[in-house]
Amino acid sequence: MKRIVVLTSGGDSPGMNAALRAIAKLGAGQGLRVFGSIDGYDGLIDGNFRELTKVLSDGVVTVDIEVDAAGGQGGTIIGSARSMRFRETQGRVVAAEQLAKLGAEGLIVIGGNGSLTGAHALANEAGIKVMGIPGSIDNDIGCTATSLGVDTALNTIVEACDRISDTARAHRRAFVVEVMGRDCGYLAMASAIAMAADAVLIRESGKSEDQLVDDIRQVILSGFARGKRRILIIKAEGVTAPCTRLVRMTEERMKQELPTLEIRATVLGHVVRGGSPSYADRAVAGRLGFGALNSLLKGATDEMVGWLPPVPGGTPTADSSVVRFSLERVLEETRALIDGSSPVTKRRVALMTQASGVLAL
């Protein structure tokens, strides 16, 4: 194997650039030329590649200086996109042709559920050697305990909630803070525990809008009755009721009980997805990059490397923390995580249920 391509697809996450750097550096060390596909699968279809390595005059392959420096940056220097064209069979045929034209013998895909679905299709339809690396701040990918960007996103949420708590205590106010997590409430759950939040609202609980409003009311009444000056409620994006609507409904329901009550809604949005990757995300990115590249060079294909997987099975790698799983199983586990049937999701919800009376202490 002399040339490979790596792409980042779907929502960006801190640690993607660290993974690109690791793959480029490790590849260069083995004389391998590494190319990045610009803007994900669209770059494959258009043949829009950027070399992440550099061939010196003496024939030695080294990592590109800009790529080497980008490991500590958020986002992704080769861009990311959700490609509608790649979802069509003809788009994948053209992508395979472009890889062949470049002389690429392998592909590493960094991304979430949709990105790995595309990787699985390309591996099966075109016979291209493909490895996946989980990249999603939502932590909603099967067969891995964490994905690139999760730790950084949690640190960002905790810092933002610390700042919000400062002003909340100054004015004796309640805040409902919405964080990302469209299909998975992991960020909300984990950050609520870290912040000792008064409550957490997650899609997985299955509660109606009216039930959520009543829960918020009870938490606020209980907290202020105990003399608290800050009430912090963390809401996952996947809870379909908008943050501002929940706040307005709660204030209306409580206007007789606490007529001077002020509840503030704060949506952190894409702030959670940006920023320089933490140590943990850089370390995991490097080790998953190492595992993916070595697996590819050994002939593995149609697989993803997972970090300390919470499910049994898989194929061990040289790194005891990194295990390979078939993309078919990864996608099955991911669907179970999202629809709530996965034991991992059930454990998370059960733990939050047990901690519901503890978070407010």
Residue 71 has pLDDT above 80, yes or no: yes
Question: Which residues, 6 or more positions from 330, have their beta carbon under 8 angstroms from its beta carbon?
Answer: 116, 132, 141, 142, 143, 304, 306
Residue 12 and residue 142 in one domain = yes
Together in a domain, 24 and 136: yes
Q: Is the pLDDT of residue 360 over 70?
A: no
- Verify that 130 and 56 share a domain, yes or no: yes
* pLDDT at residue 353, as a whole number: 82
Domain-located, residue 349: no
At residue 351, the pLDDT reads 84
Evaluate if residue 193 carries a pLDDT over 80. yes
In-domain check, residue 355:
no
Is residue 255 one of the residues assigned to a domain? Answer: yes
What is the tens place of the pLDDT at every residue in 125-161? 999 999 999 999 999 999 999 999 999 999 999 999 9
What is the value of pTM for the model shown?
0.96
What average pLDDT does range 192-196 have in this prediction? 94
| Whether residue 21 is found in the same domain as residue 143 | yes
Alpha carbons 336 and 344: distance in angstroms, whole number: 9
| Separation of alpha carbons 168 and 160, rounded Å | 12
Tell whether 107 is covered by a domain: yes
Within this chain, do residues 144 and 10 fall inside the same structural domain, yes or no? yes
Residues 123 and 18 in one domain: yes
Domain membership flag for residue 352: no
Number of domains in the chain: 2
**Dist CA 188 CA 210 (whole Å):** 20
* Residue 337 φ then ψ, to 5°: -60, -45
Judge if 206 and 139 occupy the same domain: no
Q: Is residue 321 part of a domain?
A: yes
Strands, E assignment, 216-271:
230-236, 263-267
Rg of the chain over all Cα atoms, to the nearest angstrom = 22
101 and 41 housed in the same domain? yes
pLDDT at 361: 56
CATH of the domain at 86: 3.40.50.450
pLDDT of residue 56: 95
Tokens read off for 51: 């070399």
Interval 209-266: pLDDT, tens: 999 999 999 999 999 999 999 999 999 999 999 999 999 999 999 999 999 888 999 9
Tell whether 204 is covered by a domain: yes
Percent of the chain whose pLDDT exceeds 70: 99
Q: Is residue 123 domain-resident?
A: yes
Instruction: Show the domain range for 12.
Output: 3-149+277-339
Q: Are 242 and 323 found together in one domain?
A: no
Q: Which of 274, 296, 315 is the last residue of a domain?
A: 274
116 and 176 fall within a common domain: no
Q: If you average pLDDT over every residue of the chain, what do you get?
A: 95
Q: Which residue has the tokens 């919800």?
A: 349
pLDDT at 273: 96
Query: Catalytic amino acids?
Result: 138
Answer yes or no: is pLDDT of 48 > 70: yes
Tell me, what CATH number does 190's domain have?
A: 3.40.50.460
pLDDT value for 354: 83
pLDDT (mean) for 330-342: 95
DSSP 135: B
Together in a domain, 27 and 143: yes
Last residue of a domain, one of 274, 297, 312: 274
In tens, the pLDDT along 296-325 reads: 999 999 999 999 999 999 999 999 999 999
User: In angstroms, what CA-CA distances link 159 with 47, 211, 251, 300, 310?
Assistant: 41, 29, 27, 40, 28
Residue 356: pLDDT band with limits 50, 70, 90: confident
% pLDDT > 90, the chain: 94
Are 95 and 169 found together in one domain? no
SS3 97: helix
